[in-house]
Structure 1
Amino acid sequence: MSEEMKEMTNVVTLNKGDIVKGRITKIEDSQALVDVGYKYDGVIPIGELSALRVENVADVVSVGDEVEVKVLRINDEEGKLILSKKAADAAKAWNVLEQRLQSGEVFEVKVADVVKGGLVADVGVRAFIPASQVERHFVEDFSDYKGRTLRVKVTELDRSDNKVILSQKAVLDEEFEQKKQNLLHSLQPGEIREGTVRRITDFGVFIDLGGIDGLAHISELAWHRVETPAEVVREGDLVKVKVLKVDPARGRISLSIKEAQPGPWAGIGQKFSPGQVVTGTVKRLVPFGAFVELQPGVEGLVHISQIANRHVATPEEVLEVGQEVKVKVLEVNEQEKRISLSIRSAEADARRRETDLFAEKQQTHGTGVTLGEMFGDLFKKK
């Protein structure tokens, strides 16, 4: 049998609508030639290469590539065999997409183009990812998404309308929820964690612990009184927090920044000792005395009997909130967080120092003024 006869017996039979495999033999400006085993090569016009708009044939196929194509038209008299890769891809894609929709499968797609309202990808058919379904957060500009690979799920299919909707946000939401539940069940009250300040409100701070936010109430930000959270932290700050309470059912975590730090009373006995005179601020007035703040979070009590060198019926007679006063430390009890103070003793010490200084000057220089003339009113009993 001649070679020509052998070739003719090996020629496949084709009908319009058949889907066959072939190999790319040549690439031209507006088409690709394909050997499908027929009498002559078929042609894939550039518009039949992909479900998306194609500028260059070489962007989709290369010589030697094996492809599946659908027969659109056969004309042996003209020697024309028109094929479509797009139609063959679509026929297979719809079945795959339907399976993925039912199973909830996560798969990867490459963003082919950025259009008004979202992104476009080729999944055998044209697929659309709405802007609201790209990320969990708002994205203002999608221009740099072209060429990116996204992990998506099929959320909507309509074969009759050639409609395919994908969502990366659905994938991210599921992963976030799983991560959130894992973290919620791993957190234990009392443990110390690191987190990032994500949002500041009037009532506290939301801190990201690595996938889930916990709330540090304004009362848990510092050992001293905080008027606004912005006094203590800023968005983006990395902070240590103590887990106070975890409620997995409601997805809530209570945190404390102050509890993760040494308390204001830690080592207070080394900072203040009996006999020391320091400056403080009157914070509260009560019937039995006044509480004076020595440092943020540390207040000592000036008993009413220690306010002045005379009888005082109420602290308000002598003091007011916010007033700065000199106090003498009488006693420090770090364990019980208690400090006893005296304004009267601090003033007496100041008078003695003034007297001693005057006496010293008298001995050195001599003056005609007596101590009684200088400080007579101070020593009058009231």
Structure 2
Amino acid sequence: MSEDMNQVEVANYEAGDRVKGQVTKVEEKQVIVNIENSKLDGIIPISELSSLHVEKAEDVVSEGNVLELEVLKVEEDALILSKRKVDAEKAWEKLEEQFESGEVFEAEVKDVVKGGLVVDLGVRGFVPASLVEAHFVEDFTDYKGRQVTFKIVELDKAKNRLILSHRAVVEQENSRKKQDILDTLEAGQVLEGTVQRLTDFGAFVDIGGVDGLVHISQLSHEHVEKPSDVVQEGQKVQVKVLSVDRDNERISLSVKETLPGPWSNIEEKAPKGSTLEGTVRRLVSYGAFVEVFPGVEGLVHISQISHRHIGTPHEVLSEGQEVKVKVLDVNVDDQRLSLSMKDFEEREDQYPQDYEMPEESKGFQLGELLGDKLKNLKQ
């Protein structure tokens, strides 16, 4: 086609027109296309190929591609075209719909820049570092090229501003999971969880997307000084659900309730006639309570403390003292152990072998125990 005929054809177009063109040549800084239904050529400068920075035109298009383009400028024998403007116009329409609906969509991270990530959605989308994840990320390098889910959190077409968030997607999903779990949790359930963090008053345990609190008193049957003595962050634990407050999203859990009680198998651990070592925990008017296993205390009746008569246990014992005791009786149902120290008392004259223990020393009465507690309360 002659130059005159080209000029005639060029005259049929003006800036803003939409045309289709097939790529005939990809150069380093521009792309040559043939305008559909004509012999006319068009030129797409590399800056008009994409909303993102492009190093080489071949990274965006290939020979044979048919592109929808907008005329930027009409020159004597060719059209200067833009792929970017057409892509952007289409993109804004879709993006506005996605923004209004709160749609979650997937897109490839095109680049990692200072302060966040860049995504090509027909227009340049930016993900600030604080909106990438719900947790802190030090290095975003490996995000480049990854498919990630996003929501649009800010859109301003006039300012060409598009802000995306992956964090919002994560938090939305976590919130949904949390609600699902809260709806299905019931007191009494036993679940596996992971210790998330420790505080002075207990441990927060993740039970599948929602955290529950194990109060320090529910960590063990034994007395716990600080949670880190019993559990560590990241540790898997069995927990029992004590209560669920759905309105305030609070869950109370117990590790202690999943563990064998201190009195479990006590008949095997402390059979009648066996000798144990223990610690004097409390002194009362009628005897001494000695802890022989964590959480297991037995009573040494005052008559079983010494062969000689004593007025009060304080005469020969003190709290915290380590002592040796003999098991006289085991009552599993009432969780009671009757103990004796007399056999281990150092003395020259021993009772004869056929000496029979006084009847009152074979145990202790519930009334005595309650009476002592009532005295303490009155004080």
Q: Structure 1: how far apart are the matches of 2:286 and 2:206?
A: 45
Q: Structure 1: how far apart are the matches of 2:12 and 2:300?
A: 108
SS where residue 277 of structure 2 aligns?
strand
Shift of 1:281: 1.4
1:186-214 C-alpha deviation (Å, 9 max, x unpaired):
11111110011110111111111110111
| Residue number in structure 2 paired with 1:32 | 31
1:313-363 C-alpha deviation (Å, 9 max, x unpaired):
33332222221100010111122211111112443799879x9xxxxxxxx
Q: Structure 1: how far apart are the matches of 2:321 and 2:68?
A: 88
| Residue number in structure 1 paired with 2:5 | none
Residues 322, 61 of structure 1: alpha-carbon distance in 2 compared, 3 angstrom cutoff: farther
Residues 300, 64 of structure 1: alpha-carbon distance in 2 compared, 3 angstrom cutoff: farther
Residues 144, 12 of structure 1: alpha-carbon distance in 2 compared, 3 angstrom cutoff: farther
Question: Quick check: 2:16–2:72 contact (8 Å CA) kept in 1?
Answer: yes
Shift of 1:74: 1.7
Q: Structure 1: how far apart are the matches of 2:39 and 2:74?
A: 11
Q: Structure 2: how far apart are the matches of 1:47 and 1:349?
A: 104
Compare 340-349 and 225-234 and name the one that shifted more.
Answer: 340-349
Shift of 1:253: 0.8
| Residue number in structure 2 paired with 1:117 | 115
Shift of 1:306: 2.0
Residues 349, 23 of structure 1: alpha-carbon distance in 2 compared, 3 angstrom cutoff: farther
| Residue number in structure 2 paired with 1:6 | none
Q: Structure 2: how far apart are the matches of 1:63 and 1:300?
A: 91
Which aligned pairs between 1:318-357 and structure 2 lie closer than 5 A? Answer: 318-347=316-345
SS where residue 171 of structure 1 aligns?
helix
Residues 186, 19 of structure 1: alpha-carbon distance in 2 compared, 3 angstrom cutoff: same
| Residue number in structure 2 paired with 1:144 | 142
| Residue number in structure 2 paired with 1:101 | 99
| Residue number in structure 2 paired with 1:286 | 284
Question: Quick check: 1:277–1:346 contact (8 Å CA) kept in 2?
Answer: no
Q: Structure 1: how far apart are the matches of 2:150 and 2:289?
A: 62
| Residue number in structure 1 paired with 2:207 | 209
Shift of 1:161: 1.2
Question: Quick check: 1:11–1:39 contact (8 Å CA) kept in 2?
Answer: no
| Residue number in structure 1 paired with 2:178 | 180
From 258, 262, 278, the equivalent of 1:260 is: 258
1:206-257 C-alpha deviation (Å, 9 max, x unpaired):
1111101111111111111111111111111111111111111111111111
Q: Structure 1: how far apart are the matches of 2:79 and 2:50?
A: 18
| Residue number in structure 1 paired with 2:358 | none
- The normalised TM-score by structure 2 is 0.85
Question: Quick check: 2:282–2:289 contact (8 Å CA) kept in 1?
Answer: yes
| Residue number in structure 2 paired with 1:14 | 13
Q: Structure 1: how far apart are the matches of 2:11 and 2:35?
A: 8
Query: What is the number of residues matched between the two proteins?
Result: 346
Q: Structure 2: how far apart are the matches of 1:97 and 1:302?
A: 80
- Over the residues paired in the alignment, what is the CA RMSD in angstroms? 2.5
Question: Quick check: 1:326–1:347 contact (8 Å CA) kept in 2?
Answer: no
Q: Structure 2: how far apart are the matches of 1:34 and 1:313?
A: 112
Q: Structure 2: how far apart are the matches of 1:11 and 1:349?
A: 125
SS where residue 179 of structure 1 aligns?
helix
From 211, 222, 225, the equivalent of 1:224 is: 222
Question: Quick check: 2:9–2:40 contact (8 Å CA) kept in 1?
Answer: no
Which aligned pairs between 1:305-320 and structure 2 lie closer than 5 A? Answer: 305-320=303-318
Question: Quick check: 1:127–1:166 contact (8 Å CA) kept in 2?
Answer: yes
SS where residue 176 of structure 2 aligns?
helix
Q: Structure 2: how far apart are the matches of 1:80 and 1:10?
A: 9
| Residue number in structure 1 paired with 2:270 | 272
Question: Quick check: 2:108–2:119 contact (8 Å CA) kept in 1?
Answer: yes
| Residue number in structure 2 paired with 1:54 | 54
SS where residue 247 of structure 2 aligns?
coil
| Residue number in structure 2 paired with 1:158 | 156
Residues 349, 237 of structure 1: alpha-carbon distance in 2 compared, 3 angstrom cutoff: farther
Shift of 1:33: 2.1
Q: Structure 1: how far apart are the matches of 2:153 and 2:325?
A: 72
Residues 272, 40 of structure 1: alpha-carbon distance in 2 compared, 3 angstrom cutoff: same
Q: Which letter maps to 2:50? A: S
Q: Which letter maps to 1:127? A: G
1:1-20 C-alpha deviation (Å, 9 max, x unpaired):
xxxxxxxx999953311233
How high is the sequence identity, in percent, across the aligned residues?
Answer: 56
| Residue number in structure 2 paired with 1:45 | 45
Q: Structure 2: how far apart are the matches of 1:332 and 1:322?
A: 23
Q: Structure 2: how far apart are the matches of 1:277 and 1:13?
A: 111
1:58-91 C-alpha deviation (Å, 9 max, x unpaired):
222222333222111121x2x2221111111111
Q: Where does the alignment leave 5 or more consecutive residues of structure 1 unmatched?
A: 1-8, 356-382
Question: Quick check: 2:10–2:78 contact (8 Å CA) kept in 1?
Answer: no
Question: Quick check: 2:302–2:312 contact (8 Å CA) kept in 1?
Answer: yes
SS where residue 63 of structure 1 aligns?
coil
Q: Structure 2: how far apart are the matches of 1:340 and 1:143?
A: 69
Residues 64, 282 of structure 1: alpha-carbon distance in 2 compared, 3 angstrom cutoff: farther
